[in-house]
């Protein structure tokens, strides 16, 4: 065998030992992905939330497979972004899914609505209006309104507390203690 032939044989042998990218179909099977959640044409918010939860579950399963050493050695490991892209594009994930869903568990009524399989009877109670299909823009507006209402409620609560403190005289005493503490701290 010539030196060129040996070099080629070594290159082929080395390539055979080197892990290769995992085909998307095999990755989906390994991560137990429901093919119904990989559709990019369905734009409803409930479907998007299902995809969000499935993405989180797939990433957690991937991490467990890696930790337990069960990743097929003949395949290169994938990134979390590659797992997310089974379901949704990187830009949609970071632009819509994460901003809308990362804190959604703080809004139990919305989670219940998102997880409901079809009853539209409570939609108006949750949203304040009724539509055939709700989208990310609707949820962003809803979340902003909730935040605004909470901020207004906090301001009202602070105002009520201030009025209560003033009427009992506690507010001025606390201010005096606070101011004297500040003076002591500043004089150190």
User: pLDDT tens-digit profile of 88-120?
Assistant: 999 999 999 999 999 999 999 999 999 986 555
Tens-place pLDDT, residues 26-84: 999 999 999 999 888 888 999 999 999 999 999 999 999 999 999 999 999 999 999 99
Q: What tokens does 9 get? A: 């044989």
| Cβ 125 vs Cβ 116: under 8 Å | no
Three-state DSSP class for residue 18:
coil
Asked if pLDDT for residue 186 goes beyond 60, the answer is: no
Which residue did the predictor score with more confidence, 71 or 175? 71
How far is C-alpha 111 from the chain's CA centre? 13
| Cβ 55 vs Cβ 19: under 8 Å | no
End-to-end Cα separation, the chain, in angstroms: 86
Residue closest to 182 by CA, chosen among 174, 139, 55, 46: 174
Q: Which residues contact 76 (CB under 8 A, 6 or more apart)?
A: 19, 20, 21, 22
C-alpha span between 27 and 33 (Å, rounded) = 8
Instruction: Give the pLDDT band (50/70/90) at residue 5.
Output: low
Q: What tokens does 14 get? A: 């080395």
């Amino acid at each position: 065998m010539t030196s060129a032939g040996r070099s080629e044989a070594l290159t082929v042998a080395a390539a055979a030992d080197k892990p290769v990218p995992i085909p998307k179909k095999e990755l989906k099977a390994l991560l137990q992905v429901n093919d119904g959640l990989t559709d990019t044409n369905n734009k409803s918010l409930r479907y998007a939330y299902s995809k969000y939860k499935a993405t989180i579950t797939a990433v957690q399963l991937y991490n467990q497979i890696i930790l337990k050493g069960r990743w097929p050695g003949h395949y290169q490991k994938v990134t979390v972004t590659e797992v997310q892209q089974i379901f949704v594009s990187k830009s949609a994930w970071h632009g819509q899914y994460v901003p809308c869903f990362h804190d959604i568990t703080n809004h139990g009524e919305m989670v219940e609505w998102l997880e409901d399989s079809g009853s539209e009877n409570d939609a108006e109670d949750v949203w304040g209006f009724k539509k055939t299909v709700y989208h990310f823009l609707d949820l962003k507006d809803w979340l902003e309104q909730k935040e605004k209402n909470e901020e207004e409620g906090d301001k009202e609560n602070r105002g009520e507390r201030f009025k209560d403190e003033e009427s009992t005289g506690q507010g001025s005493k606390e201010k005096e203690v606070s101011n004297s503490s500040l003076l002591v701290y500043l004089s150190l």
